[in-house]
Amino acid sequence: MTNSSQQLGIISRLRRWFFGTPDRSLDQAYEAALKICQIEENYFNGKPITPENGTYSASSYRILQKDRRKYLSIIRRRMAEFRTSSDALQLSSIGRRSISLPDDLPLNQISGPAVFFKKLQLVDEVLERYGQTSLLSLNQLQATAANSLSPRSANSPTNQSSSSELSDRKLKNSSKDDTQNEALSRSSSVLPRSILRTVDRIKQDLDPEAEVEVVRNFRNSKTQTTIAITFVLQLIIVPLLAQYLSKNFLVAPLVEYTRDTTQAEVFLNVAMEEEALHELQRYEERFRFEVLIGKAPSLTELEIEERVKQKAFQIEEDYRQRSADAVENVFADVIAVLSFSLLLTNCREQVATLKGFIDEIIYGLSDSAKAFIIILFTDIFVGFHSPHGWEVLLEGMADHLGLPANRNFIFLFIATFPVILDTVFKYWIFRYLNRISPSAVATYKNMNE
């Protein structure tokens, strides 16, 4: 008896599993469709997952596209399983459950008899949105379900007419619901997106899997932050180390050897020579003045000339070293730039992650913080007092590379580059920030007035 009851139990479970295959397959396809809809709402403002509907980097979009392909693959497999099992079962159980849809079903009732058709409708919409074809359309399913409602329907004209009337009524109700849904979507589009996002956030909080989703998002965010910060440190430390090590251990010995063997000039340019002459002249005049006022011991003219000659040799040695340093800086800076470029070229994934991290930080700031940062950067680089900063920066760069500070070039640069930079800032505000955060643009205009 025990073995017979166990066999009956196994057969019963297998039978329930077999007859529950259509519902189970549709539920899994529906869950995958919900995942795609959730990605659309969270990252693309309810629009399809395409590069045109978002401002994400290539790496970030590849991750989202990978999730989309995965869920679409699940939908196709489960709908194929659904079609096969429903053809084998002739949708008898599904028809009995779903054909009894009441005429006065409210739009917000997403449970009970309407669940089956609502799920299939959402799956069809997701498949059509991404150029897929539904494996079993809603109308075919309803017609098949209506024809298989009664086992005597094929033999009884009364039952045939009754099922036909019921199917027609079902189709009318479905079209009526579709019309009402379209009207509701049109009316809801008038509402602010913040209210809709609040409702979606409440739905996500009430989701049983919300905690798992939060933990997964936190881990992804933590990983992204770690990668971004590590890569920023690499972008700073690696070029500096490359510049320092190459200058002191590779470039400096070669430059010193070359300048000693070729008897190179002390001064790289005329400006450096004039600076040295001016320094020597100031030393001689100051020394003579100290002798005259008695601050320095009284010396003869030959002794004064000897002291000035020693200072001239010292100045020559200093400027010789400055010239060598300038030449070394050129080659060391080239090596540093090459190392920086190699990092950017060979670490595309980290670059995309860093870009997404920066975008997340910038767009996650409050409107006042965004406006403050924009005003700070624009005033520093393109403000009315920025030419003095650019002048100091360019002169320091020219001195670092041993180049003469060409005043005409500096003034021309100041007259053009900040203007171009200001245009780029305004275009970014108008093209991107105005679309993503209009309130931040309004706050920026109010603070800037």
Q: In this model, does residue 108 exceed pLDDT 60?
A: no
Indicate the average pLDDT of the chain. Answer: 76
- Output the CA–CA distances (angstroms, integers) from residue 399 to 31, 242, 325, 382, 418, in the order listed: 65, 21, 10, 24, 22
Question: Is 15 in the same domain as 142?
Answer: yes
What's the pLDDT score for residue 7?
60
**419, part of any domain:** yes
Angle at 363 between CA 357 and CA 369, to 5 degrees: 115
Indicate the residue type of 186.
R
The structural domain count of the chain equals: 3
Question: Is 313 in the same domain as 432?
Answer: no
Residue after which a domain boundary falls, among 354, 383, 409: 354
Compute the distance between CA of residue 200 and CA of residue 210 in angstroms, rounded to an integer.
Answer: 12
Question: Is 27 in the same domain as 172?
Answer: yes
**211, part of any domain:** no
433-442 pLDDT, tens digit each: 787 778 888 8
Task: Pick the more confident residue, 420 or 182.
Answer: 420
Q: Among the listed ranges 20-29, 86-95, 203-212, 235-244, which one has the minimum average pLDDT value? A: 86-95
Question: Is 346 in the same domain as 381?
Answer: no
Q: How confident is the model at residue 331 (pLDDT cuts 50, 70, 90)?
A: very high
In Å, how far from its chain's centre is CA 300? Answer: 76
Residue after which a domain boundary falls, among 354, 387, 415: 354
Question: Is 182 in the same domain as 288?
Answer: no
Question: Is 343 in the same domain as 371?
Answer: no
Question: Is 165 in the same domain as 121?
Answer: yes
Contact partners, residue 375, CB within 8 Å, separation at least 6: 444, 447, 448
Question: Is 141 in the same domain as 257?
Answer: no
Task: Pick the more confident residue, 59 or 366.
Answer: 366
Residue after which a domain boundary falls, among 192, 214, 247: 192
**187, part of any domain:** yes
Question: Is 73 in the same domain as 171?
Answer: yes
* Contact status, residue 367 vs residue 443, Cβ threshold 8 Å: yes
**216, part of any domain:** no
Question: Is 15 in the same domain as 123?
Answer: yes
**407, part of any domain:** yes
Structural domain of residue 304, as residue ranges? 224-354
What's the pLDDT score for residue 229?
93
**250, part of any domain:** yes
Question: Is 320 in the same domain as 399?
Answer: no
**394, part of any domain:** yes
Tell me the two tokens of residue 100.
């009894």
Q: In this model, does residue 231 exceed pLDDT 90?
A: yes
**169, part of any domain:** yes
Question: Is 167 in the same domain as 58?
Answer: yes
